[in-house]
């Protein structure tokens, strides 16, 4: 199920949940609501999206620009 935020590009998964705590390794997620260990790509019925846990995409500008392109 994709969220309606960000044009449906964000899939619901435990790694982005409000109740999830990700240890240093990052291989598993500890859920405070369910009280167990979950996989980062899974989700449950208690899922609640936390926008602060999302890592935004980076944009790479391709093209040949000269110094004159940036002068006013």
pLDDT at 58: 84
Residue 4 pLDDT level (bands cut at 50, 70, 90): low
Residue 65 pLDDT level (bands cut at 50, 70, 90): confident
**Residues 33 and 21: beta-carbon distance below 8 Å:** no
């Amino acid at each position: 199920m994709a969220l309606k935020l960000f044009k449906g590009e964000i899939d619901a998964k435990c790694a982005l949940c409000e109740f999830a705590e990700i240890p240093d390794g990052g291989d598993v997620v500890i859920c405070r609501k369910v009280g167990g260990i979950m996989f980062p790509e899974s989700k449950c019925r208690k899922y609640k999206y936390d926008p602060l846990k999302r890592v935004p995409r980076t944009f790479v500008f391709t093209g040949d620009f000269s110094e004159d392109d940036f002068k006013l």
